[in-house]
Amino acid sequence: MKKFVCTICGYVHEGDSAPEFCPVCKAPAEKFKEMEASGGLEWADEHRVGVAKGVDEEVVAGLRSNFEGECTEVGMYLAMARVAEREGYPEIG
């Protein structure tokens, strides 16, 4: 069996030929390309410590800033949920 990948949304179809249209994004059969049978899987990211050594300090500072912002937002959302529950909106809290 062959595998065909939709170039629009990434849907993978297994069969002898590409489907008439993508069941996910409705793209026509021409948008499918056949997957080559390579030796191993390739991942888009690397899960190794130290792989980002030597990255520009501005990038690291931006990542830290975004991380800290997301961490403080969680606390704010929890506090808002508690207030909503106290004020009679349990479906929000």
The answer to whether position 92 is within a domain reads yes
The mean per-residue pLDDT over the stretch 67-71 comes to 93
Do residues 84 and 92 touch, judged by C-beta distance below 8 A? yes
Count how many residues are written for the chain.
Answer: 93
Q: What CATH number has the domain bearing residue 18?
A: 2.20.28.10
Give the model confidence (pLDDT) of 42-64 as tens digits: 676 767 788 788 899 999 999 99
Domain count across the chain: 2
Indicate whether 59 and 92 sit together in one domain: yes
The answer to whether position 64 is within a domain reads yes
Residue with the bigger pLDDT between 1 and 6: it is 6
What lies within 8 Å, CB to CB, of 35 at 6+ separation is 2, 3, 4, 5, 12
As a whole number of angstroms, the distance between CA 16 and CA 71 comes to: 48
As a whole number of angstroms, the distance between CA 86 and CA 93 comes to: 9
- Confidence (pLDDT) at 5: 94
Give the model confidence (pLDDT) of 18-48 as tens digits: 999 999 999 999 999 998 876 666 676 767 7
Helix (H, G, I), strand (E, B) or coil at 23: coil
